Amino acid sequence: MELFQSRVDQLTRIWIDLGLIKSSTKERPEWTRLKLKPALDVLDNLIRTEDFQRQLLAAKLVDVKASIEGKCCLLGRNADLYIGHEYASYKAMCSSYLQLCETDEALGQEVYHNKAFLQHHYELLKALAMELRIPEKIPALRLEDYSNATVILCRTLVQELRQIKEDRVKTFNIAVGNLYEVWETLRFPPTDPIEEQLVALFTNTQSSTEISVLEEHNWYSSELQDPLNLTIESLELLKLKQLQYCVDFNERKQHRERIASYILRLYNDLEVPTSEQKTFKRGFDEETISEMVQELNHLRQSLLASLDSIIEEYRSKLFELWEKCQVNQDERDRTIERILEGADKVERGEILQVELAKLSQMYDKGLKIFETMKERKELIQKMIDFERTASDPKRLFRSSFQLNEEERWRKTAYPNLLKFEEQLIEAIMIYESEENVPFMHNGARYLETLQQEIADRPVNLSVFGFVNGQATKPRSAANSASSSLNNSPFSSIRIPLECVENDRDTSNKYKRQGDSIESTLNVRTT
């Protein structure tokens, strides 16, 4: 503006020098306007141009602000944080416009990326939710919401569903892999729809050699048909079937391994040549295992026959001790089983010697017990036999002497039985107090076994002149027996606690057992 004013001042001085004006252009305003018209026209054009540029910039500012506001709305942000207020000059407007354009471009890029991200991940989210059968995980999103919060929500949900799928696929692969291993061996027939899908999946597998490690093979595919999917219900059913079939498989496998180990050991013990050793097909099916069991039983019989030479010197002693200690057949079978489990002939002989030593020690310490047990057992058997023959009419045709002897024995049988049981209990108590351990017989405490036998007598006492432990007739012999029985120390037997003072708990236990037996016997004798 100073340059323009200097030109006007210079032109004014020239006009004064030329005498066109005296001192100022105000003297001839119309003439001055005509003289300056070309310059004024140019200046007016310049003013209009500059004003247009100013208005255009203002309009652009409005547009870019509107664009920023729209993008901020999509991104869920406050537009006031990006848009300034009134501008003091045109220069400030230009500077702000450039900054706003950069901001608008940056926001546009962010909207574009967020939109693309949301479109992709939302579709992925829906696919995962449908694959996992959990539609409730699909959020209700607004179509024009590209905010970072929505992006984070969508990303978090996708990560969560991916983790769920990864865990379920891992569970699926382990279960199906184990079932495949079982199916390869047992070829179990399908019994329900999920097993039908499993068998179809296994059948379509090209070859088992392609699956080197079953756990690493990916059995899952989104193309699998229901009910073979990743739902909680399907996975639980798969795990249940895995447990059922794998337990059966492992039991068969362990059973086969045990049988095979026994067979091999027996082959070695019996020195069977390799060419004569039987081979079995692979697998754990019933037919194969049955063949192996038959071979094992055959070898066991052969081994038992060969053991005769080993235990010949001990045989009579072993059977004698078994009879003396009244060992039942189950215990005898278990002893034979332990002998057979010996690694070789030497070990079997050692097991046999240990068993003989144990039986000998047991018999020596419990000699009175075993003798009384034998007498009681023989008396009970004799009473049973008498009861069986008492109703035989032919019995009346015997001699009077024989009948009198039988009658005398009949009246004393039950009192004698009680006497044996009294002696037996006293002997057991003495043994337990001295040894400080229960007297065990055939794998159970004999005091308890005796109590149960007394409670469940296999003898009809009325045949022997007693009902509920009382004589049925006032005979002298019966009264004498009853009187002697009632006056017997057995009728008021007590556990000698002073014999086991070192173990008060054990004494109390024995006392309770003795009192129980005493009460049982008193019921029968009173």
Could you report the per-residue pLDDT of 238-272, keeping only the tens digit for each? 989 888 888 888 888 888 888 888 888 888 877 78
pLDDT band at residue 480 under the 50/70/90 scheme: very low
Distance CA 421, CA 343 (A): 44
**What one-character-per-residue DSSP string does 89-140 give?**
SHHHHHHHHHHHHHHHHHHHHHHHHHHHHHHHHHHHHHHHHHHHT-GGGS--
Tallying the residues shown for the chain, one arrives at: 526
Residue-level pLDDT at 166: 92
Residue 155 has pLDDT above 70, yes or no: yes
Is the residue at 245 inside a domain? Answer: no
End-of-domain residue from the set 423, 456, 489: 456
Residue 86 has pLDDT above 70, yes or no: no
Q: What is the mean predicted confidence (pLDDT) over 221-231?
A: 84
Within a 13 Å sphere around the CA of 138, how many CA atoms are in the beta-carbon half?
A: 15
| Alpha carbon of residue 427 to chain centroid | 51
Lowest mean pLDDT among 69-83, 167-181, 330-344, 472-486: 472-486
More confident residue, 84 or 525: 84
Query: What is the span of the domain harbouring residue 122?
Result: 35-146
Q: Per-residue pLDDT for 324 more than 50?
A: yes
Up-side HSE of residue 106: CA atoms within 13 Å toward CB?
7
> Of 361, 352, 270, whose CA–CA distance to 313 is shortest?
352
Residue labelled with tokens 């500077």: 95
pLDDT at 163 over 90: yes
The yes-or-no verdict on residue 107 having pLDDT over 50 is: yes
DSSP 473: S
DSSP 8-state assignment for residue 318: H
**Bridge-based pairing state of the strands 470-471 and 466-467:** antiparallel
Residue 401 clears pLDDT 60, i.e. is over it? yes
Band the pLDDT of 160: cuts 50, 70, 90.
Answer: very high
Q: One-letter amino acid identity for 102? A: E
Look at residues 103, 123, 146 and tell me which one is the last residue of a structural domain: 146
In a domain, 11, yes or no: no
Find out whether 72 and 78 touch, Cβ atoms under 8 Å.
yes
Answer yes or no: is 231 within a domain. Answer: no
User: Is residue 404 included in any domain, yes or no?
Assistant: yes
CATH number (domain holding residue 428)? 1.20.58.1520
Report the pLDDT value the prediction gives residue 359, as an integer from 0 to 100. 83
Q: Which residue has the tokens 């004494």?
A: 507
Q: What is the mean pLDDT of residues 273-292?
A: 82
Out of 435, 456, 477, a domain closes at 456
Q: Which of 343, 317, 319, 349 is nearest to 331 (CA)?
A: 319
Q: Which residue has the tokens 């020098």?
A: 17
Query: What is the tally of structural domains in the chain?
Result: 2
515: helix, coil or strand? helix
Confidence of residue 87 (pLDDT cuts 50, 70, 90): low
Q: Which residues contact 423 (CB under 8 A, 6 or more apart)?
A: 368, 372
pLDDT score of 495: 32
Q: Given this model, what pLDDT does residue 169 score?
A: 92
Establish if 303 belongs to a structural domain: no
SS in 3 state form for 196-224?
A: HHHHHHHHHCCCHHHCCCHHHCCCCCCCC
Reduced to 3 states (helix: H, G, I; strand: E, B; else coil), residue 441 is strand
Is residue 256 in a domain?
no
- Evaluated on CA atoms 369, 372, 377, 380, the torsion sign reads negative
Task: Give me the pLDDT at residue 492, please.
Answer: 32
Asked if residue 514 has pLDDT above 70, the reply is no
> What is the reported pLDDT for 182?
83
Q: Is the pLDDT of residue 387 over 60?
A: yes
Query: Can you tell me the mean pLDDT for 509-515?
Result: 40
User: What's the CA gap between 500 and 430, in Å, rounded?
Assistant: 10
In the numeric block, the tokens 């054009």 are attached to 45
What is the spatial distance between Cα 518 and Cα 516, in angstroms, rounded to a whole number?
5
Assess if residue 161 is contained within a domain: no
pLDDT beyond 50 at 304: yes
The amino acid that residue 279 corresponds to is: T
Q: Does 506 fall in a domain?
A: no
Residue 97 and residue 57 in contact, taking contact as beta carbons nearer than 8 Å: yes
